[in-house]
Amino acid sequence: MRRGFLGLRPRTARTVGLVFRLFVLSLIGFAISIPFVWMVGASFKPRAEVEEPHIVPEEPTLNNYPIVLDMMPDPVTGEYLELRFGRWYFNSIFVALSVTLLQVLTSSMAAYAFARMQWRGRDTVFLLYLATMMIPGVVTMIPNFQVMVSLEFLNTYRGLIIPAAFTAFGTFLLRQFMLSIPQAMDEAAKIDGASHWRIFWDIVMPQARPGVIALAIITMLAAYQSFFWPLILLNKDQYYPLPVGMLALDSSYGRQTELIMAATVMNVVPLILIFVIFQKFLVKGLQLGGVKG
């Protein structure tokens, strides 16, 4: 009888290999999850216990969350932190949704022009467009800031949203999907008198839905976590997103680890929910996007 790995039967060898892979992946997953588990545990610890090495709090408390939300005073100082955490939450979600909507719209329209329309110099322009992806963001930071100053976009939502509304990566991703759609569908629609706008909305976009969803998820996660650009652009806390606003917990009010961890948990929960709910769409979108180049 044919023998497989380590002299085992093929079916037994596959089972052993599967168990081994699951064991290794479980160890890796456990190691990766330790910082997150510690963060959650620390968010329920009192201040006197937060520096202890154990993960599970001995005397768990829920007070850290209402303290961060400014719903109760700090039991150590007896004062409210006077943070605008709810406002920062709204800013992050509003900016992320606005950037996602605009980026998907502009990227899909540009991708349609590069993939489905014939015009002189199209491929050359597309290559130049892709070349912008190789320019580090720090190189364009100062010119972008000067433009924002000229347009009076400092300390505004416009300054956070408009510069992030266009992306070469999104255009490239959606172009790959649109290239995989048969051109015969466009030709049939044109025979029936459909315009480019009708073809774009009614034929191409439904077919490119996996790519649109994948781009929306990637954009949403990136915009929600944006830190460096808002830190440079804003100096009024009413416009701060969460990543920038949370700096107050480690600066203005001293180092209060348990409050930082409580704020961080509330910050990352939406990201985890988005990734868990839309994970299959993200994986499918990225896989299909690389089928045709």
For the segment 23-67, what is each residue's pLDDT rounded down to a tens digit? 999 999 888 888 888 899 888 988 888 777 778 888 888 888 988
pLDDT for residue 118: 87
- 119 and 221 both lie in a single domain: yes
Residue 196 CA to its chain's centroid (Å):
31
pLDDT for residue 240: 93
- 30 and 140 both lie in a single domain: no
Residue 175 CA to its chain's centroid (Å):
21
Structure-block tokens of residue 170: 């999104």
- 120 and 157 both lie in a single domain: yes
Distance CA 174, CA 183 (A): 16
- 204 and 179 both lie in a single domain: yes
Q: Is residue 74 part of a domain?
A: no
- 121 and 29 both lie in a single domain: no
- 115 and 31 both lie in a single domain: no
Q: Are 30 and 38 in contact (CB under 8 A)?
A: no
Q: How many domains does the chain have?
A: 2
217-239 tens-digit pLDDT: 889 989 998 999 999 999 888 89
Q: Give the domain CATH number at 139.
A: 1.10.3720.10
**180 burial via Cβ count (<10 Å: 0-12, 13-18, 19+):** middle
Average pLDDT, integer, range 66-77:
81
Range name among 52-66, 122-136, 246-260 with the lowest pLDDT average: 246-260
9-23 tens-digit pLDDT: 667 767 877 888 899
Domain boundary among 37, 68, 99: 68
Q: Is residue 279 part of a domain?
A: yes
- 92 and 50 both lie in a single domain: no
Angle at 107 between CA 139 and CA 110, to 5 degrees: 100
DSSP 8-state secondary structure symbol assigned to residue 5: G
Structure-block tokens of residue 25: 């992946």
pLDDT above 70 coverage of the chain, percent? 90
Distance CA 206, CA 167 (A): 21
- Give the closest residue to 167 by CA, choosing from 224, 239, 230, 222: 222
- 200 and 141 both lie in a single domain: yes
pLDDT for residue 293: 44
Distance CA 104, CA 174 (A): 9
139-190 tens-digit pLDDT: 888 899 999 999 999 999 999 999 999 889 999 989 988 888 888 888 888 8
Q: Is residue 78 part of a domain?
A: no
- 116 and 149 both lie in a single domain: yes
Average pLDDT, integer, range 110-128:
90
Question: CA–CA distance from 53 to each of 50, 61, 136, 234 (Å)?
Answer: 8, 17, 39, 37
- 124 and 245 both lie in a single domain: yes
Contacts for 13-17 with beta carbons within 8 Å, 24 or more apart? none
Q: Which pLDDT band, with edges at 50, 70 and 90, does 82 fall under?
A: confident
**Average per-residue pLDDT in the chain?**
84
DSSP 8-state secondary structure symbol assigned to residue 181: S
Structure-block tokens of residue 277: 């709910």
Is residue 106 pLDDT above 90, yes or no?
yes
Q: Residues 253, 258, 259, 263: is their CA dihedral positive or negative?
A: positive
Range name among 14-23, 83-92, 119-128 with the lowest pLDDT average: 14-23
Q: Is residue 187 part of a domain?
A: yes
Q: Are 156 and 229 in contact (CB under 8 A)?
A: no
DSSP 8-state secondary structure symbol assigned to residue 203: I
Task: Tell me the one-letter amino acid at 250.
Answer: D
Q: Is residue 73 part of a domain?
A: no
Q: Is residue 76 part of a domain?
A: no
pLDDT for residue 284: 66
- 14 and 114 both lie in a single domain: no
Other residues' Cβ atoms within 10 Å of the Cβ of residue 61: 16
pLDDT for residue 285: 62
Distance CA 160, CA 153 (A): 8
Q: Which domain holds residue 122?
A: 85-289
The whole-model pTM stands at 0.82
pLDDT for residue 113: 92
- Give the closest residue to 12 by CA, choosing from 111, 185, 20: 20
